[in-house]
Amino acid sequence: MTVVKAENVIKDYGLNDQVIHALRGVNLEFQAGEFAAIAGPSGSGKSTFLHLAGCIDNLTAGSILVGGKDTGKMNRTQLAILRRQSIGFIFQAYNLIPVLSVEENISFPLTLLGIDKKEIRERTNQVLKEVGLDGMAKRRPKEMSGGQQQRVAIARALVKKPALILADEPTANLDSKIGREILELMLALNKSAGTTFIFSTHDTMVMDFARRLIRIRDGQIESDEIKG
Amino acid sequence: MTLFGIWELKKLALRNLTRHKVKTILTLAAIMVSVALYIVLNSWLGGMAIQSRRNIVNFEIGAAKLQTRLYFERKDEMPSYETFLDWEIFHEALYREGYVSAPRFVFSGTLFSQSGSAPILFHGINPAAEKEVLRYAQYVDFGRFVQDGNFEIALGTVAAERLRVGIPTRPLRLELEELIASVARSQAEADFIRSLYDITPSVRRGGDIFSTEERIVEGNERMILGRNASQADLDRYWNIIAASGRNDVRINAIIDIKAAPEMIRRHRWENELWPALRPEDRVLVAAAYVYEDFMDAYHLVEQDERQLNLILDAMIRAEYAGAIRHVNQLMDVVVVGVINSPAPLPNGNTAFIPLDVLQDRAGMMLEGGVTELIIRERGVPDSRLPGQSESSAVITAALELGLASMGRTLPDELAVFVWQDYMQDYLGYEALQTGAPQVVAGLLLFLSFLVISCTILLAILERTKEIGMMRALGMTDRQMIMLYMLEAGFLGFIGSVLGIILGCIINYPLVKYGIDFSAMGDLMDGGIGFRTTAIFRSMWNVPIIIGAGIAATLLSSFMAFLPTRRAVKKPITDSLRFE
Ligand SMILES: Nc1ncnc2c1ncn2[C@@H]1O[C@H](COP(=O)(O)OP(=O)(O)OP(=O)(O)O)[C@@H](O)[C@H]1O
Ligand SMILES: [Mg+2]
């Protein structure tokens, strides 16, 4: 089943009378259960692609289908609801809410979905175990290490069982040992729950983890290989 | 999650207030102070206004007046010629329909005592009826209230003080000695009077203002009438003063009455009277006057009472100003009581005199006429302000009904006017007073909302990245706005609750004890201004208190609307990149 399909995606940025072509006709398709990395040098368009796939930015031309639906034909509210239901984000800077505890951060997307309290508690506890943070539910983000915070972010992305999780350089703020742990966790979750992960990186260690490696340069796909 | 499901995020909204505790506390303090100030100011002024209105009704004019329409039109001039007869009938008719009323003849004049004079507003009253409508007669400080048939007056304390009649409460020692010298008939009486006073030494700082040396100025000591002087003592003191003639006073007033003039100069006759007369009246008037050469004037020769009345009617129809005669009246009376009531008007330059004395024996030529009949519903508590049952229409209907049961009708020239009709000046003052400080409080409220909007603006700016994240996670624009309005609403709500508590804490003693402004007593004697003396009390106005809280909460909440809306207009990717 196709989760995301990008057809001839073009993204231009206007910057001081000058047009920057961030993506120049990208065609990509991701199936359910993939664990894919988008790699490329700085400024190549990795983040831009993830933003478009995550429906938090508008494309200039082409189309992006999420779960078969053309996102170009949706309004702001419909896109917000699509993101709420189907897409999880993991950010390089974790982006947790500082005044909420770990479990409150994790349950935030479920609250948005209007799920009842009892189920929220069960699913939050479950996910806390999966990311190896049980016992830390009551902590505040600032009382945790970067690796732990990123685990919380992963749990927050995972808890609503989205069709797709997008992670923009999820390990860039972490040292390589912790980064590896995070990737191992993501891979394990991909295997056990079948969640689709697409993440960007320019770190070869991270690329090694990917089951599919897409290389991008100057806004164009350079190579796309599926590893055995 | 629905739009209003944002309530599920109340915990987040509340916790957000803990991010910058100092900023939150300062903002709360600003809201608290302005809400409290607003409540206190409003309650205070509301209390003054209610008390003033009660005092106007209970001490000045009752709920309404029956008066001639012409008097009402010219009430500022107090046209004492605009009187009406048979007040007893209207009084009875009103009584039958559940209203008490009291007749009055009001005029201004000068009162002379042994030691001075003062302009006074005189009220010819019927003591029994007056006491049914108004309450000041219960507040006779010294002496007693006036009684029917006696040549006596009760005087406001301000006028009494000024004319030096009655018992002085705070004389200088020299003044008291002078008084004693002129009233005491024996050494025993002199000692008795002295014994009623306490001395407070009058001290002056010696030398320059930095000197602590103090000296007593001989004779300048302030004597204060002892608070625990018994009623019997005061009565005895009053009688000693009265026996000396010190309380004898003379009224000098010019009373305007309507009468056919004794003499009319030819040019007025020709230019003013004759052209204005109806042709059918001219014969009548011409027959009553004869022209005399040496004075170049017309003289009244008609003697017959009925004819004279017809002539007067004709002149009034012609609106001839010469038909109003100014009669100078002198009248000797005794001050029998001094009034010191909770309302300033009866305490001021005001005197009350039995109406029957004015009417009959003193020869003021009133011939039973009164200028007004003051009216109040029978049996209503003093604390109640006139309502529907004391409106002009309802009283008029009742009066007509009562008159009909007596086989009479209400003459056309009479009408019922309610107290507000006479109190335009006061009501304007009240609106100004209760309005102006509200502007100040409103300004403060506005300033505190600037503080709130700053706080929120900064919070939103600081949380740009977080807002981007929340939107990426699927919050809609409206949910985002609601979340921040909820947060600002909590800020307003907590501030308001604190403000209400603070306001009530401040207001409580103001309601219970009030503030004693009696030192400023003399300032309260104006014709306009709040009608309270001595102790000003605040009040509890629950709708205002709750309303202030709700308004502050809603306003505060609304402060978050525009900044949040602007924040969600920004592309999510821009917000996420924000550092
Ligand atoms: N908001 C923007 N306005 C203008 N230009 C932009 C904007 N965002 C990205 N770009 C440009 O688009 C191109 C692609 O940027 P993008 O952020 O997708 O690169 P990236 O591959 O994620 O790089 P990095 O590895 O440094 O994160 C770059 O040339 C960048 O300068
Ligand atoms: Mg990037």
Q: How far apart are CA B290 and CA B262, in angstroms?
A: 11
Ligand 1 in contact with A24 (CB < 6 A)?
no
The last residue of a domain, from among B305, B325, B345: B325
Classify residue B111 as exposed, middle or buried by CB count within 10 Å of its CB (0-12, 13-18, 19+).
buried
Q: How far apart are CA A157 and CA B394, in angstroms?
A: 75
Q: Do A56 and B1 touch (CB under 8 A)?
A: no
Please indicate, yes or no, if residue A136 is contained in any of the structural domains: yes
Percent of chain A beyond pLDDT 90? 82
Domain count within chain B: 4
Amino acid residing at B475: M
Mean pLDDT on A72-76: 93
Ligand 1 in contact with A151 (CB < 6 A)?
no
B163: nearest Cα among B407, B404, B348, B405? B348
Q: For chain A, what is the radius of gyration of the CA atoms?
A: 17
Does B228 score more than 50 pLDDT?
yes
> Domain of B313?
258-325
B153: nearest Cα among B330, B331, B332, B335? B335
3-class DSSP state of B290: strand
3-class DSSP state of B149: coil
Amino acid residing at B383: S
Q: Report how far apart, in Å, the C-alpha atoms of A55 and of each of A23, A77, A90, B52 are.
A: 15, 11, 14, 68
CATH number of the domain encompassing residue A114: 3.40.50.300
B440 or A46, greater pLDDT: A46
At B257 the pLDDT is: 80
DSSP B514: -
Ligand of minimum distance to the alpha carbon of A38: 1
Please indicate, yes or no, if residue B249 is contained in any of the structural domains: no
Q: Are A68 and A114 in contact (CB under 8 A)?
A: no
pLDDT winner (highest mean) among B173-177, B212-216, B371-375:
B371-375
At B511 the pLDDT is: 87
B141: Cα within 13 Å, side-chain hemisphere: 21
pLDDT, tens digit (0-9, with 9 covering 90-100), for B444-486:
878 888 888 888 899 999 999 999 999 999 999 999 999 999 9
Please indicate, yes or no, if residue A12 is contained in any of the structural domains: no
pLDDT grade, residue B527 (50/70/90)?
very low
Residues B441, B446, B452, B455: is their CA dihedral positive or negative? negative
Is B475 in the same domain as B529? Answer: yes
Cα of A64 from ligand 1 centre, angstroms = 19
Tokens at B175, concatenated: 């003044």
Please indicate, yes or no, if residue A138 is contained in any of the structural domains: yes
Mean pLDDT on B61-85: 90
Q: How far apart are CA A79 and CA B29, in angstroms?
A: 41
Please indicate, yes or no, if residue A86 is contained in any of the structural domains: yes
Ligand of minimum distance to the alpha carbon of A42: 1
At B302 the pLDDT is: 85
B256: nearest Cα among B309, B313, B327? B327
At B571 the pLDDT is: 93
A47 or B365, greater pLDDT: A47
Beta strands B116-125 and B324-339, pairing class: unpaired
3-state secondary structure string, B466-484? HHHHHHHCCCCHHHHHHHH
Q: Do A54 and B472 touch (CB under 8 A)?
A: yes
Contacts of B465 in chain A (CB under 8 A): 93, 95
Tokens at A170, concatenated: 């999820």
Q: Are B575 and B567 in contact (CB under 8 A)?
A: yes
Query: Best residue in B8, B465, B473 to probe A by mutation, most A CBs within 10 Å?
Result: B473
Please indicate, yes or no, if residue B496 is contained in any of the structural domains: yes
At B520 the pLDDT is: 52
3-class DSSP state of B397: helix
Order across the sheet with A87-90: list the strands: A87-90, A164-168, A196-201, A35-39, A212-217, A220-226
Does B218 score more than 70 pLDDT?
no
Please indicate, yes or no, if residue A144 is contained in any of the structural domains: yes
Mean pLDDT on B225-251: 88
Q: Does B543 touch chain A (CB under 8 A)?
A: no
Mean pLDDT on B202-222: 60
Domain count within chain A: 1
Q: Do B475 and A99 touch (CB under 8 A)?
A: no
pLDDT grade, residue B526 (50/70/90)?
very low
Is B342 in the same domain as B452? Answer: no
pLDDT, tens digit (0-9, with 9 covering 90-100), for B374-417:
999 999 998 889 988 999 999 999 999 999 999 999 999 999 99
pLDDT grade, residue B319 (50/70/90)?
confident
Mean pLDDT, all residues of chain B: 86
Is B435 in the same domain as B546? Answer: yes
pLDDT, tens digit (0-9, with 9 covering 90-100), for B91-121:
999 999 999 999 999 999 999 999 889 999 9
3-class DSSP state of B458: helix
Query: Best residue in B11, B469, B478 to probe A by mutation, most A CBs within 10 Å?
Result: B469
Q: Do A91 and B576 touch (CB under 8 A)?
A: yes
Does B523 score more than 60 pLDDT?
no
Q: Are A7 and A61 in contact (CB under 8 A)?
A: no
Rounded to two decimals, the pTM is: 0.74
Q: How far apart are CA B44 and CA B513, in angstroms?
A: 12
Q: How far apart are CA A95 and CA A86, in angstroms?
A: 19
Cα of B7 to nearest chain A Cα, Å: 10
Please indicate, yes or no, if residue B359 is contained in any of the structural domains: yes
At B214 the pLDDT is: 57
ipTM of the shown complex: 0.95
B576: nearest Cα among B457, B459, B456, B471? B471
